[in-house]
Amino acid sequence: MMALTVLLALLAALSNASASVLQRRAAVQEEPDQGGGAGSVVRRFAHLLRRPYWLAGAGLLGLSSLLQAGALAVGSLSLVQPLLTAELLFTLAVGSVVFRRRPEARTWLAFVALAGGLALFLLAAAPSAGRPTARPGDWLLGGGGALGAVVLLVVVARPTRGASRAALLGLASAVSFAATAALLKEAVGRLAQGPAEMFGHWSLYATGAAGLVAFLLLQGALGAGSLTASQPALTLGDALTSVVLGWVLFDESIHLGLSLLPEAIGVALIGAGSIGLVHSPSVGGEWDATDPEESSGSTNALPRSPRR
């Protein structure tokens, strides 16, 4: 079961990373997000629906959700969601091909520090499996806390632009995706009692609502700024929020005591990676802010395959 959980989670990470890159590819062909109200959001969304890259990304998001559901059905929230940190490296690999760019070494090191730091933290913390479903009262605490965090992040993001807006909306999307995963785990956890129990419980339908909110916030993050600003907040925020929700909702615990040292090192690596990313030229849009069809002459561009 452990191997199957890891495989499904990694495939979900690959699908999610590919979806983000393809939808960012479509977003750079649109006018920058100016925050012009609901009308501009609807018009932008209508334009994106006509972009093949955006539609392909949406399909991969759906596939990622199915793979994630399978992983949560056989594994714990605290194992599945942190494994999705591999999405960071998949994003760089897929993005380098789609945008025909070679991210500079500083960006690669920053991403590796972020992913490695979180991996070290989670390996040291060793979150354990808990209950398959949560107590009803625990959802008031966990769900209410997640909702409050999302609202606060969106409010703070409203007056900002560029990388800051992308990071804040990416983090809000991350909290929403973590809550979606927790709700999905609650739903699939009830499947053991029969399909009627799962389809008759509110968590299945709340999963859809939370997923829609996360999806819309993701679109806002992708349209606001570079993927290198939104993606770390999205991926790392999802994993860390999931560990907290796993503890609050499903009694999943982490190691303390001597494990605090490697956990602290992991947190330090995450901080160092974040600082490195902020100072990377890619955050300013050098990597994924232009249409590769219009910038093939760049010295950083990957070579094109010859046309047949």
Condensed to tens digits (0 to 9), the pLDDT of residues 253-291 reads 778 788 889 988 987 887 777 667 656 655 555 556 555
CA geometry: angle at 236 spanning 14 and 35, to 5°? 95
Dihedral sign (CA 23, 28, 30, 31): positive
Print the domain residue range for 161. Answer: 2-290
Model confidence at 97, in pLDDT bands (50, 70, 90)? confident
pLDDT at 46 over 50: yes
Residue 23 lies in a domain: yes
Lowest mean pLDDT segment, chosen from 49-58, 68-77, 148-157? 49-58
pLDDT number for residue 302: 39
Model confidence at 303, in pLDDT bands (50, 70, 90)? very low
Residue 305 lies in a domain: no
Tell me how far apart the alpha carbons of residues 107 and 285 are, in angstroms, rounded to a whole number: 12
Mean pLDDT to the nearest integer, 155-181? 90
Residue 297 lies in a domain: no
Mean pLDDT to the nearest integer, 225-238? 76
Q: Say if CB 103 and CB 287 are below 8 A apart.
A: yes
Model confidence at 171, in pLDDT bands (50, 70, 90)? very high
pLDDT at 161 over 60: yes
pLDDT number for residue 172: 94
Residue 192 lies in a domain: yes
pLDDT number for residue 35: 54
**Could you tell me the two tokens for 191?**
């499947």
Q: Say if CB 252 and CB 128 are below 8 A apart.
A: yes
Q: If you ran DSSP here, which 8-state letter would residue 191 be given?
A: G
Burial class (CB in 10 A: 0-12, 13-18, 19+), 142: buried
Residue 302 lies in a domain: no
pLDDT number for residue 139: 92
> Rounded to 10 degrees, what is the CA torsion of 57, 62, 66, 71?
50
Q: Which residues pair with 145 in a beta bridge?
A: none
The amino acid at 46: A
Neighbours of 163 (CB within 10 A): 20
Q: Comparing C-alpha atoms, which of 106, 143, 153 is closest to residue 275?
A: 106
Residue 210 lies in a domain: yes
**Could you tell me the two tokens for 21?**
């890159």
Most trustworthy range by pLDDT among 1-5, 94-98, 242-246? 242-246
Model confidence at 294, in pLDDT bands (50, 70, 90)? low
Residue 177 lies in a domain: yes
Q: Comparing C-alpha atoms, which of 114, 112, 110, 109 is closest to residue 267?
A: 114
pLDDT at 149 over 90: yes
Q: Report CA Rg, the chain.
A: 19
Q: Comparing C-alpha atoms, which of 161, 157, 155 is closest to residue 33?
A: 161
Mean pLDDT to the nearest integer, 154-182? 90
For 187-204, b/e burial (b = at least 16 CB within 10 A) is bbbbeeeeeeebeebebb
Say how many domains are in the chain: 1
Residues 6+ apart with CB under 8 A from 106: 276, 279, 280, 281
Model confidence at 308, in pLDDT bands (50, 70, 90)? very low
pTM above 0.75, yes or no: no
Model confidence at 206, in pLDDT bands (50, 70, 90)? very high
Q: Comparing C-alpha atoms, which of 178, 198, 180 is closest to residue 189?
A: 198
Tell me how far apart the alpha carbons of residues 216 and 169 are, in angstroms, rounded to a whole number: 10
Residue 56 lies in a domain: yes
More confident residue, 302 or 119: 119
pLDDT at 158 over 80: yes
